[in-house]
Structure 1
Amino acid sequence: MTYDTPLLRGRDLAMWQQAALVLAGTVLIALAAQVSVPMWPVPMTLQGAAIIAVGLSMGSRLAAVTLLTYLAEGAMGLPVFANGGAGLAYIAGPTGGFLIGFVMMAWVAGLGARAGKAGMLTAALVAAAVLYMPGLAWPYAVASGLGVEAGWAASSASALWAGWMQPFLIGDAVKAVLAVLVVAGGRSALSR
C-alpha cells in the first residue's frame, strides 16, 4: 500500500465488506462521542477526531455514507450522540447543525485519503473548519429565520463567534492532528 491509496479502499470491497466498514465506523464515532477530555476553555469529545479518521481511512464516499448511517442510528433512538443523546428532538436541538455538518466533515476529510501526511493534515483542518458552516447556520436560522425563541438560538455574529466557535477552535485543531497521526500510523503499520 502506498500513500496514493486510502487505508480502506471502498471501491475494491464487496458490498457486505463496505457495510461492515460503515457499521464499524458508526460504532467508533459513537464510542468517541462518549469520551470527554478536559481541555481549556471547554471540554472536548473525541467525536470529531473519529469522524476525520473515518474520512481519511475510507475516502469521501464511504465516509459520507458512514456519517449518514450514524445520523440515522441517532434519529432512530440509538444513544450514539454525545452524552448518550438520541432521537429527532436531539438532532433538532442546539447541536443539530453540527450533527448535519458531520457528513460534510467526513466527506472533506476523505478528500485527503489518498494524500501524504501534509495533504491529510490539510484535509483534516479544512474538514474541521467546514463543520462550522452548518454548525453556525443552525442557531442563526432558528433564531432569525424561523423566529423560534430558544435560549441557545443566536442572531448576532458576535454571539455565534463567542458561544459557538471560538471556544472550540483549539480542540478542533488538536483532534485534526490526532486523527492524522492515527491514520498515518495505521498506514505505516500496514505497509510493513
Structure 2
Amino acid sequence: MTALTLRQGRLREAARFLFLALLGSAVLAASARIALPLWPVPATLQSLAVLLLAALGGTRLGLASVVLYLAEGALGLPVFAGGATGLTAFAGPTAGFLLGFLPAALIAGQAGRGGWLRDGGILLAAHLALFVPGVLWLSGFVGAEKALVAGFLVFLPGTAVKTGLALAAVSLRRR
C-alpha cells in the first residue's frame, strides 16, 4: 500500500464517521420534536436516541453526535425541544439535561459487550446519569424538592420503557 492509498482510506473513514455523527445529531433533533409539554422540562425521546446512538454506534459516535447536536443548537439551529435555539437554551431549566446527554453517551457506549443483565445495568446507569446534571441545574430554577419531582420522579416510568427499548435493540444486534 502506498502512502496515498492509506491517506485516502483515512479520509474516507473520517468522512464516513462525520456523516454518521451528523446523522446522529439529526436523530437527536428529530427526537426532540416528539415531546410531551411537561413543566419545566418536556418529556422527549432524546434520552432513547442518546442510548441507541452510543450503544449501537459506540462511544465515539454517540459522543460525537451529542457534541454536534449541542453545537448546532448553540449556533442557532432549532434542534432543541420546543424549537429552542441558541446559547439561551444553555441558560434555561433544561440546560443540565442537555449537558447530561454527554455522560449518558459515554456510559451507554459500553453496552453491547456482555449479557442482557450487564447491558441493562449499563443502559440504566447511562439513562440515570443524564438526570444528575439535569436535576442539579433545574434546582437553581425551582428548588431542590421540585427539581427532584419535576425533573426526575415524573420521568421514571418513561425511563424504564426507553431503557428497555434500548436494551432490546442492543440484544437484537447481538444476534
TM-score normalized with structure 2 length: 0.83
Deviation per CA, 1:12-59: give whole Å up to 9, x if none. x811111111011111111111113699xx973211111100010122
Gaps of 5+ in 1: 1-12, 144-152
Choose between structure 1 and 2: higher helix proportion: 2
Please tell me whether the aligned partners of residues 111 and 170 of structure 2 are also in contact (alpha carbons under 8 angstroms): no
Structure 1 residue corresponding to 2:143, chosen from 155, 165, 169: 155
Matched, 1:87 2:74: no
- 2:152 and 2:95 mapped to 1: Cα distance? 15
Alignment of 1:29-178 (within 5 A): 29-36=28-35, 44-140=43-139, 143=140, 153-156=141-144, 158-178=145-165
- 2:100 and 2:37 mapped to 1: Cα distance? 24
- 1:31 and 1:15 mapped to 2: Cα distance? 24
Change (3 A) 1:94 1:118: same
Deviation per CA, 1:132-184: give whole Å up to 9, x if none. 111122133xx3xxxxxxxxx1333x222222211111111111111222343
TM-score normalized with structure 1 length: 0.76
Name the Cα RMSD after superposition.
2.4
Q: Which 4+ runs in 1 deviate beyond 4 A?
A: none
Change (3 A) 1:63 1:23: same
What is the CA-CA distance between 1:118 and the residue it aligns to? 2.5
| 2:160 alignment partner AA | A
Deviation per CA, 1:49-74: give whole Å up to 9, x if none. 11100010122222112111110011
Aligned to 1:148: none
Gaps of 5+ in 2: 1-11
Change (3 A) 1:81 1:38: closer
Aligned to 1:63, the other structure's residue is in SS state helix
